[in-house]
Amino acid sequence: MLNGYRFEMIIGCMSAGKSSELIRRIERARLAYLPTIICRPATDTRSKPNHVESRNGLASQAIVVESARDMLRYSSQSVVIGIDECQFFDDDVIDVVQALLKQKKKVIASGLDLDYRGKPFGPVPYLLALADRVDKLLAVCRKCGSDFACRTQRVVQSSEQILVGDSQYEARCIHCFEPPFEYQLKLELPEQASIPATALLV
Ligand SMILES: [Zn+2]
């Protein structure tokens, strides 16, 4: 039986290192001889079959599942279950994760928290509310180079929520992020008082 955190989430924008962090945590469990699996949805066609791959070249064996419920068929022999690209599952994943936790398994899920519009992605907000530990990873902004990229900018025209592929996206900070017009903030903001530099140090 495991102690400690039961449900961990690793979230953030693209290129933040989510998959490599998931692989690191799963490999760590494997070094302790805990039976593990990683599942990823069939929607994500970038990795080679039966693998999860990170952009920095890490790879681990993974089971490609058509639906969240399929994970229950493969998880019975495992103690630690990794879920990559959890934003691509439908809402069933919320019940599936809770069923795994009831079976005293540890679940580590990674995925995008926001879609290209800057809106919460699929079941991720629900999963975040259930998680015992959340790590939000940031990337480097492709436009200004700041260390605080937290949005995934789509750089091609399409209104599909899911458009799989790395070349259509880049990581951006909130100042450089340009969502489609209909998703831009419409609030009239009052004139900003200048913020003393010391306030930014808090
Ligand atoms: Zn930027």
Mean pLDDT per 10-residue interval, the chain, length 202 residues: 78 96 95 96 78 78 93 93 96 97 96 97 98 98 97 88 81 96 87 74 61
Residue 139: per-residue pLDDT: 98
User: Cα–Cα distance between 67 and 43 in angstroms, integer?
Assistant: 10
**For residue 172, how far is its CA from the centre of ligand 1 (angstroms)?**
5
User: Cα–Cα distance between 46 and 165 in angstroms, integer?
Assistant: 7
Residues near ion ligand 1 (Cβ under 5 Å): 141, 143-144, 146, 173, 176
**For residue 148, how far is its CA from the centre of ligand 1 (angstroms)?**
8
**For residue 146, how far is its CA from the centre of ligand 1 (angstroms)?**
6
Q: Which residue has the tokens 């398994």?
A: 105
Could you tell me the end-to-end alpha-carbon distance of the chain, in angstroms, rounded to an integer? 41
**For residue 163, how far is its CA from the centre of ligand 1 (angstroms)?**
23
Are the beta carbons of 118 and 183 closer than 8 angstroms? yes
**For residue 18, how far is its CA from the centre of ligand 1 (angstroms)?**
20
Domains and CATH numbers, the chain: 7-137 (3.40.50.300)
User: Cα–Cα distance between 139 and 145 in angstroms, integer?
Assistant: 9
Residue 3: per-residue pLDDT: 64
Quote the pTM value: 0.88
Residue 196: per-residue pLDDT: 75
**For residue 13, how far is its CA from the centre of ligand 1 (angstroms)?**
13
Question: How distant is the alpha carbon of residue 64 from its chain centre?
Answer: 17
Instruction: Give the closest residue to 85 by CA, choosing from 117, 131, 49, 53.
Output: 53
- Please give the positions annotated as active site: 85
Residue 5: per-residue pLDDT: 65
Residue 127: per-residue pLDDT: 98
- What residues form DSSP beta bridges with 60? 52
**For residue 169, how far is its CA from the centre of ligand 1 (angstroms)?**
14
Q: What does the chain look like in DSSP terms, one character per residue?
A: ---S-SEEEEEESTTSSHHHHHHHHHHHHHHTT--EEEEEETT--SSPTTEEE-TTS-EEE-EEESSTTHHHHH-TT-SEEEESSGGGS-THHHHHHHHHHHTT-EEEEEEESB-TTSSB-TTHHHHHHH-SEEEEE-B--TTT--S-B-EEEE-S----S----STTEEEE-TTT----GGGS----PPPPPPPPGGGGG-
